[in-house]
Chain A
Amino acid sequence: MSAPRRSFISTALVIAAFLPWFAVFFVPALSLLRTGQLTGTDWTLSGFFAGLVDPLLLAKVQFTAGQAMLSALISCLVGLPLGIYLRHSPRATDWLKIPFGVPTLVASAAWVSILSRTSMIYSFEAVLMSHVVLNIPWVASLVAEAAGGVPVGWDELARSLGARSFTRWRTVYFPVIAPALFSGFSQVFILCSMSFTLVTLLGGGPPVETLEAAIFASVRTGTLDLVTGANLSLWQLVLSLLPWLALRMFWKPIAIPAVRPASGAAEPRWHRVLALAWVAPYAVFFKDVEPTVLVSSKFWSEIRDPLLLSLGLAISVGVLAVLWSSLAIAALSSMREGRRQKVVEVLFLLPSGVSTLTLSLGFWLAYSAWIDPFEGSIAALIFVQALIFFPLVFRWLWPLARLRSQAALDVARSLGASPLRAWLEVEWPRLRQPFIHAVALVSAASTGELAAVSFFSSERMVTLPLLVSRWLAQYRFEYAHGVAAILLVISGVLTLGSRWER
């Protein structure tokens, strides 16, 4: 292919990949600064800053940051020894990631069930505990993966040189574990600062209220207050983007060749039990699922429309997120490796540091001429959810796509195949399964997503998570648990089903 043509295709691909990024991420983010246009008031810099430092708003920022910091600290304090303990058990380490597949809504339903009739229900402590239990295994898995990568020989060498246990820990393990721990801390902080579902359902209302819950309240409940909503969103952006940027700037994991055992045969069974114990709280809610509810026609007639809508939405979001990621990957693949490619990659990943409700409010402010959140907008819901999941899919598929077999592609081209045909014959068989897996995983995650759904739904457009949330809020626990069980089954089928072929 000639150089000008290659350059033209590369530019076209980058533009095509950035168009949806620009429309669904950049324009909405920018709109958060332009609320005066909607409220009919003049925008002034002093007024803008005065809004940002409002004492009530700062109290919410303080609460959000404080609970996220505390959740991250406790998760790391418990996750660190757990991860070190399980470092030589790769299968147990994998199992530590299972709780992250549990939809947050199901986790909330489980905690409501566990804490019912205790003094902890509907309190800050309940929110903190649910955050910590959800995140400890994640931190532990990061630590275990990092510590497990340290060759046994290093430790033995340090011992033979006379190093005591603390010195060995400080010089051999800590330099490897520290970046993983810092990464875990940042990730847990970001996730907890964006917490919406757990806080809304377990917190018992203000003052236990994160910025996300406050953004929702400013637009969808009470007095319509777009300026406050936008100011809250800007603070949310700061809270979630700063650790994200710090993570990208300072996290330099030490690359160690994998020395893990080929099978988990030598792994004590006790380790896997320990890893699986973190899922146990979520299994408890099954005891509250009434079989009579699941077989009643009234139940099914009430959930029929939400079920169909949720499935349609999940598949649309899954397909769109993967198509969009594919476009981004194609754009990056067409670029030469270097600084420019790195910048584009970071820009594609930027939405992962932005919360769902911040994006939703920005999207609504940007496209308010066409979207009315009170009427419900399925298109807005699909675009916003696809943007939320796009960085995850991209981060997962991009390293796989980079491992392309250039020699095989060149052979195919030399045999007369077009670039597309060569790619389909050489690369697609390798990438097909991960792509299908990505569609299934995003669809599974979408079925349990509540924040964007709460923002863009209407009385005529109710999804399964919204139904669970409403029924939990109305304390119709039997029905809520029934739907939560269905959500868990859908999520499990999509996740495990996509792995079946592997």
Chain B
Amino acid sequence: MTPRLAFLHSIRVALSFAILSADVSVRAADEPIRVLSILTYDSLMAEGGLGHEVVSRFEKSCRCRLKIQVAGDAAQMVSRLQLEQLRGRSETQVVVGVDQALWPQVRAMALKWTASGDFEHVLDPGFTPLDYGVMCWIWNPEWKGFAGSPPVPPRRWSDLLDPKWKRRLLLQDPRTSTPGLGFVLGAQAALGDAAGNFINGIRRQWMTLAAGWSGSYGLFLKGEAPLVWSYTTSQAYHLSRNPKSPFRALVFEEGNPIQIEGSFIVEKAVAGPGQQELARQFVQLLASKEIQERIPNTQWMLPALKGVALPEEFQSIPSPLKILRPPVEFDLRTTLRHWELSIR
């Protein structure tokens, strides 16, 4: 930090201290209200989503206030955290919604503490799983663009390169969307060295590379294409709305990638033991059975905790033949760079 920035920073710290001191002295007669700053992405805080429910439950029990900061998507959330680090600020105390592909970017910031629970999938210490999903293509056999009877849907990754799927796939940009990144990492895990050629070929197959999952799924629901990259749980969602829904999740012979979302505490941002305890209580609530039971019907993902009963519509979703995981250590920037070079 330059002397000028350091000077400005010290002024800001002094001012914040003065304001906080004044605030505390006013509240001294009562009990000071603690504030926990949470960073998450927008769909977790969407109307009917899990976020609002968690916030109200926690605020009732903790005698504290949650300050929710919402980023557009998980990738933006990570960028924001990185920016805070660059600027020497630590405003975010708990991050909710980071997945295992983005986790290596933020692992160093995390407090090495994981909430207790018997989880389906476990990552490093510091990462508390929230939910998970198996990524797959969702198939619409009744798509109006088919001339005659629908073709056989793809069963292997390489089937996607068949000319009959040209401009008929709806995919997400891996730079902005975690399912999109999951597709690239899944292709690498499934195809190994052949992944580069596969990605170069798939470039002619997608109709559009949407910035986010909701964009591509919206286009799929409008009938623009017969295949969209999503989660097996999307089939459960459609069945819950319409038991005769034609949409089907496709699992591939080489396997399907998994996405594990979770939360962590930003070590530098939880100043004292009291604040750290508050953050731990919040993360523990997310891992509790009562919240985990709400995940299938609010987030349309699978609960991270083992033994949580699933709604009926989840019973029919196909299980992956093999689960594809990204390597534990990988450089996201290099992966995205290779992807960009492959599609040109």
A-to-B contact residues, CB < 8 Å: 37-40, 55-56, 59, 116-117, 119, 121-122, 204-207, 217, 219-225, 368-369, 372, 374, 459, 473-476
In the complex, the answer to whether A223 meets B340 with C-beta atoms within 8 Å is: no
- Given contacts A56-B340, A476-B218, are A217 and B175 in contact (CB under 8 A)? yes
Could you say which residues of chain B place their CB within 8 Å of the CB of A374? 71, 76, 79-80, 83
Could you say which residues of chain B place their CB within 8 Å of the CB of A204? 206-209
Bound complex: CA A39 to CA B87 (Å): 9
Partner of A473, one of B82, B203, B215, B336: B215
Interface size class of B (residues with CB under 8 A): 35 or more
What are the interface flags for B240-273 relative to A under an 8 Å C-beta threshold, 1 for contact and 0 otherwise? 0000000000000000000000000000000000
Partner of A206, one of B2, B72, B73, B343: B343
Bound complex: CA A219 to CA B222 (Å): 31
Bound complex: CA A225 to CA B341 (Å): 17
Bound complex: CA A193 to CA B105 (Å): 33
Partner of A475, one of B2, B219, B333: B219
Q: List 19 A-B contacts (CB under 8 A).
A: A38-B86, A116-B224, A205-B208, A205-B210, A206-B173, A206-B343, A207-B340, A219-B79, A221-B211, A222-B174, A223-B78, A223-B333, A224-B82, A372-B87, A459-B71, A473-B211, A474-B218, A475-B215, A475-B218
In the complex, the answer to whether A217 meets B87 with C-beta atoms within 8 Å is: no
Could you say which residues of chain B place their CB within 8 Å of the CB of A473? 210-212, 215
Does chain A have a CB within 8 A of B337?
A: yes
Partner of A223, one of B173, B208, B214, B332: B332
Partner of A222, one of B222, B336, B344: B336
- Given contacts A222-B75, A368-B87, A374-B79, are A474 and B341 in contact (CB under 8 A)? no
What are the interface flags for B40-83 relative to A under an 8 Å C-beta threshold, 1 for contact and 0 otherwise? 00100000000000000000000000000011110110111011
Could you say which residues of chain B place their CB within 8 Å of the CB of A221? 73, 75-76, 79, 173, 175-176, 211
Q: From residue 173 to 198 of chain B, which have CB atoms closer than 8 A to chain A?
A: 173-176
B-to-A contact residues, CB < 8 Å: 2, 5, 8-9, 42, 70-73, 75-76, 78-80, 82-83, 86-87, 105, 167, 173-176, 203, 206-212, 214-215, 218-219, 222, 224, 332-333, 336-337, 340-341, 343-344
B57 to chain A, nearest CB (A): 23
In the complex, the answer to whether A56 meets B209 with C-beta atoms within 8 Å is: no
Could you say which residues of chain A place their CB within 8 Å of the CB of B86? 38-40, 224
Besides A369-B5, A372-B87, 14 more A-B contacts (Cβ < 8 Å) are A55-B341, A56-B337, A119-B167, A205-B173, A206-B173, A206-B344, A222-B75, A223-B175, A223-B336, A224-B83, A225-B333, A369-B8, A374-B71, A374-B80
In the complex, the answer to whether A206 meets B209 with C-beta atoms within 8 Å is: yes
Could you say which residues of chain B place their CB within 8 Å of the CB of A225? 333
B292 to chain A, nearest CB (A): 27
A475 to chain B, nearest CB (A): 4
- Given contacts A205-B209, A207-B343, A473-B210, are A459 and B79 in contact (CB under 8 A)? no
Bound complex: CA A219 to CA B336 (Å): 15
Could you say which residues of chain A place their CB within 8 Å of the CB of B214? 474
B119 to chain A, nearest CB (A): 27
Bound complex: CA A473 to CA B172 (Å): 11
Bound complex: CA A56 to CA B87 (Å): 28
In the complex, the answer to whether A222 meets B79 with C-beta atoms within 8 Å is: yes
Could you say which residues of chain A place their CB within 8 Å of the CB of B76? 220-221, 374
Bound complex: CA A207 to CA B9 (Å): 41
Could you say which residues of chain B place their CB within 8 Å of the CB of A206? 173, 209, 340, 343-344
Could you say which residues of chain B place their CB within 8 Å of the CB of A117? 224
Could you say which residues of chain A place their CB within 8 Å of the CB of B42? 459
Bound complex: CA A475 to CA B333 (Å): 29
Bound complex: CA A475 to CA B214 (Å): 9
Could you say which residues of chain A place their CB within 8 Å of the CB of B219? 475
Bound complex: CA A369 to CA B219 (Å): 40
B114 to chain A, nearest CB (A): 25
Could you say which residues of chain A place their CB within 8 Å of the CB of B87? 368-369, 372
Bound complex: CA A100 to CA B175 (Å): 33
Bound complex: CA A104 to CA B341 (Å): 30
In the complex, the answer to whether B72 meets A459 with C-beta atoms within 8 Å is: yes
A30 to chain B, nearest CB (A): 15
B321 to chain A, nearest CB (A): 30
Could you say which residues of chain A place their CB within 8 Å of the CB of B209? 204-206
In the complex, the answer to whether A222 meets B83 with C-beta atoms within 8 Å is: no
A128 to chain B, nearest CB (A): 16
The 6 closest A-B pairs by CB, nearest first: A205-B209, A222-B175, A475-B218, A122-B208, A204-B208, A224-B79
- Given contacts A56-B337, A56-B340, are A223 and B210 in contact (CB under 8 A)? no
Bound complex: CA A221 to CA B173 (Å): 10
Bound complex: CA A37 to CA B88 (Å): 13
Bound complex: CA A66 to CA B123 (Å): 46
Bound complex: CA A55 to CA B341 (Å): 9
In the complex, the answer to whether A372 meets B83 with C-beta atoms within 8 Å is: yes
Could you say which residues of chain A place their CB within 8 Å of the CB of B70? 459
Could you say which residues of chain B place their CB within 8 Å of the CB of A372? 83, 87
Could you say which residues of chain B place their CB within 8 Å of the CB of A38? 86
Which residue of chain A has its CB nearest to the CB of B105? Answer: A223
A39 to chain B, nearest CB (A): 7
Bound complex: CA A119 to CA B206 (Å): 12
Which residue of chain B has its CB nearest to the CB of A219? Answer: B79
A482 to chain B, nearest CB (A): 16
Bound complex: CA A369 to CA B72 (Å): 23
B120 to chain A, nearest CB (A): 28
- Given contacts A374-B80, A374-B83, are A222 and B218 in contact (CB under 8 A)? no
Which residue of chain A has its CB nearest to the CB of B86? Answer: A38
Could you say which residues of chain A place their CB within 8 Å of the CB of B73? 221
Which residue of chain B has its CB nearest to the CB of A225? Answer: B333
Bound complex: CA A117 to CA B210 (Å): 16
B266 to chain A, nearest CB (A): 15
With most chain B CB atoms within 10 A of its CB, the pick from A121, A220, A374 is A374
Partner of B79, one of A40, A122, A223, A368: A223
Could you say which residues of chain A place their CB within 8 Å of the CB of B83? 224, 372, 374
Which residue of chain A has its CB nearest to the CB of B81? Answer: A224
B16 to chain A, nearest CB (A): 15
Could you say which residues of chain B place their CB within 8 Å of the CB of A59? 341, 344
Bound complex: CA A459 to CA B69 (Å): 9
B344 to chain A, nearest CB (A): 5
Could you say which residues of chain A place their CB within 8 Å of the CB of B9? 369
Could you say which residues of chain A place their CB within 8 Å of the CB of B176? 217, 221-222
Could you say which residues of chain B place their CB within 8 Å of the CB of A223? 75, 78-79, 82, 105, 175, 332-333, 336
Bound complex: CA A328 to CA B277 (Å): 58
Bound complex: CA A122 to CA B175 (Å): 18
Bound complex: CA A476 to CA B82 (Å): 31
Could you say which residues of chain B place their CB within 8 Å of the CB of A474? 212, 214-215, 218
Could you say which residues of chain A place their CB within 8 Å of the CB of B332? 223
